[in-house]
Amino acid sequence: MKIIILGLGYVGLVTAVGLANSGHEITGLDVDMNKVKMLQNENMYIYEHGLEELVKENTKNGRLAFDTLENISCIDSEVVFIAVGTPSQSNGSADLSQLKNAIEHVVDKAKSPLTIVVKSTVPPGTGKKIKEMYLEKASFKHSYVSNPEFLREGQALKDWFYPDRIVIGGDDREATAFISDLYKDIKAPIVISDVTTAEMIKYASNAFLATKISFINEIANLSDLTGANIDGVVQGISHDPRISGSFLRAGIGYGGSCFPKDVRALDFISTINGHSFELLKAVINVNNRQRLIPIQILRREMGLLSGKKIAVLGLAFKPNTDDIREAPSIEIINLLIGEGAAIKAYDPIVDGTEKNFYYQEAVFTKNVWETVNDANAIILTTEWDEFVNLDWFEVYKYTQSPHIIIDGRNVLQPRLINEIGFKYFGIGRSCV
Ligand SMILES: NC(=O)c1ccc[n+]([C@@H]2O[C@H](COP(=O)([O-])OP(=O)(O)OC[C@H]3O[C@@H](n4cnc5c(N)ncnc54)[C@H](O)[C@@H]3O)[C@@H](O)[C@H]2O)c1
């Protein structure tokens, strides 16, 4: 089947190759001419394991093509997926301008009735509004389906081909059945609902996961104060299947392009609906506070940070992605520079020099050794395997007093690191 996809970011591009792999004929459209040009030349502008190979393979076999939105004069497919961004506005609400723009184009260029499938994360009630504002006035009777995406950057293709569930929300049975059929190759439970429920499922999922993270971070903070060991606590509670062990690693908090913005958007939606979602506000506050912990430790241990040399390992908000949107590294580096510290930073995938407009005056290095050379302290902000598996004996030789390591992701072995001679600080591991 011919399918058009609007928005070729992390979600749109994965959707494009996923559906092309199932045998559909995909045209991916974006408003960003540079992205389109790169894809047309089979070059990637995002890093996602395995994506480049699948883009090349499906382009070669003729199932995948890319173009700019303005270049196409009409929509000649039955189905259009929309995977445009829905970033945060300053008041926390989701900015739906990309979505509205995409819908306007689709309605304008449609030559027959379409099924419009929205993969972008949008506040509950958005689908209803889009129908009222655009679809009911359109020349054709289009169907609207909400099909929120749950992929995780860093393992996006795996999540596409082996998802935990597929959520399809529509107010029209024929349309939901039609879209369910597109996923027939994928073995996963399909949850069918109305549009607004599907939209809420996405926010509820992200808010719940963020809550788990902030919850365990608070237990870790309390463990530091009481002498408990967070690793033991997590091990002890994870055996309970009602709790489960996932998303219970304490650290410097969540970041990325989804959790922070989606939790803020849900809080905003609650407020404008007259409900104060206190739990969510606490989740946000805990997360904002958590990333300040490395700075608090450094101040406590070293006093004034002016002139101190600090190595930051990791820029991406999590391993195996090049995404730095709302990454803790940004705030940590900028605050430390504000305190007068000299920062060197390195990430295995993110080219800091290219993204340096996010960071004030940090020096971006090409490898770990340049980064840690002469450092008084190291902050591990992203748990890349390269950092976890480092020869820390060797690293020690490069660093200088007081040889502090702040393990912002609780992935190093505290005893070993202390035995080497470092002063180790994790989150909730002070008793180790
Ligand atoms: N990134 C994730 O891990 C993830 C996971 C699940 C859901 N989501 C949600 O999916 C949506 C997309 O996320 P993303 O990370 O892929 O965003 P992104 O910012 O990486 O990509 C969005 C793309 O849409 C393009 N675009 C904007 N307006 C357009 C238009 N009118 N027509 C065509 N293209 C247009 C942009 O140029 C950009 O390339 C968001 O709502 C996000 O919350 C993201």
Output the pLDDT for position 40. 96
Kindly state the percentage of the chain with pLDDT values over 70: 100
For residue 17, CA distances in Å to 10, 27, 221, 236 come to: 11, 10, 42, 41
* 30 in a labelled binding site: yes
431 in catalytic set: no
Whether 16 and 28 have beta carbons less than 8 Å apart is answered as yes
All domains in the chain, ordered by first residue: 2-193 (3.40.50.720), 202-288 (1.10.1040.10), 291-425 (3.40.50.720)
First to last CA, the chain: 58
Residue 29 β-bridge partners? 6, 67
Pocket test for ligand 1, best of 13, 49, 84, 86 (most atoms within 8 A of CB): 84
User: What 8-state DSSP symbol labels residue 150?
Assistant: -
User: What 8-state DSSP symbol labels residue 89?
Assistant: P
Helix, strand, or coil (residue 82):
strand
Output the pLDDT for position 356. 76
Helix, strand, or coil (residue 180):
helix
pLDDT for 349-378, tens place per residue?
998 888 777 887 899 999 999 999 999 999
* 27 in a labelled binding site: no
Q: What is the mean pLDDT of the chain?
A: 96
With a Cβ cut-off of 6 Å, ligand 1 is lined by 6-12, 29-32, 35, 69, 83-86, 98, 101-102, 105, 119-121, 149, 151, 153, 257-258
pLDDT for 381-402, tens place per residue?
999 999 999 999 999 999 999 9
Whether 231 and 196 have beta carbons less than 8 Å apart is answered as no
Q: Which atom of ligand 1 is nearest to the CA of 94?
A: 41
Output the pLDDT for position 68. 97
Q: Which of 81-85, 300-304, 310-314, 428-432 has the lowest mean pLDDT?
A: 428-432
CA dihedral 31, 137, 148, 274 (to 10 degrees): 110
Is the pLDDT at 348 greater than 80? The verdict is yes
Is the pLDDT at 19 greater than 90? The verdict is yes
CB atoms under 10 Å from CB of 47, counted, come to: 18
Pocket test for ligand 1, best of 8, 11, 93, 165 (most atoms within 8 A of CB): 11
Q: Which atom of ligand 1 is nearest to the CA of 120?
A: 41
Whether 295 and 343 have beta carbons less than 8 Å apart is answered as no
Is the pLDDT at 217 greater than 80? The verdict is yes
* 247 in a labelled binding site: yes
Output the pLDDT for position 359. 81
Give the active site residue among 94, 168, 230, 258. Answer: 258
- Mean pLDDT confidence for 215-223: 98
DSSP per-residue codes, 389-421: TS-HHHHHHH--TT-EEEETTS-S-HHHHHHHT
Kindly state the percentage of the chain with pLDDT values over 90: 96
**What are the strands of the beta sheet with 25-30, ordered from one edge?**
64-68, 25-30, 2-6, 79-82, 115-118, 143-146, 166-170, 190-193
Report which protein residue has its CA nearest ligand 1's atom 18.
9
